[in-house]
Amino acid sequence: MKTTRRTIWLLIALQCIALSCSTEYISMQEESSPLVQAPLSNMDIPFTEYQVGTGSDTVLSYATGSKLIIPGGAFLDEEGSIVQGKVDILYREFHNPL
C-alpha cells in the first residue's frame, strides 16, 4: 500500500513539474511600443532613418558627430542566418534631460 501511494505522489509531482515548464517563445518583433518612451508627447525626438547594405562594413555619421560602426554580417534573422540585402536603421540621440 505504501509503495502504491508513493508511486501516485511521484507521478503527481512529475506531472506538476512537466506542466510548469513553459515553451513560450518571445520575439522582439512582437513588441508594439518602443523601449524608450518620450516623457512628454510633445517633446518627442524624431528618428533619423538610414538604409544600409548588410554585406560590408558601414560607418554612419550622425549630425552631432556620433558614429555608428556596423560590421558586415552584423544582422541575423530569427533562425540565426545572416540577413542579405539592405536593412533600415532608425536612430536618435538624447542629450539633455527635460
pLDDT, one tens digit per residue, over 61-89 is: 988 899 999 999 999 988 989 999 999 99
Residue 78 and residue 30 in contact, taking contact as beta carbons nearer than 8 Å: no
Distance (Å, rounded) from C-alpha 73 to C-alpha 56? 7
Q: Position of cell 508627447?
A: 41
**pLDDT attached to residue 98:** 55
Write the DSSP symbol of residue 96. S
**58-61 and 67-70 strand pairing:** antiparallel
State how far the alpha carbon of 28 is from the alpha carbons of 8, 25, 78, 97, in Å. 42, 10, 10, 28
- Domain extent listing, the chain: 44-93
pTM value > 0.85: no
* pLDDT, tens digit (0-9, with 9 covering 90-100), for 25-63: 444 445 556 666 666 777 778 888 999 999 999 999 988
**pLDDT attached to residue 26:** 44
> Cα 94 to chain center, whole Å?
21
Please list the residues that pair with 87 across neighbouring strands. Answer: 52
Nearest to 60 by CA among 32, 91, 39: 91
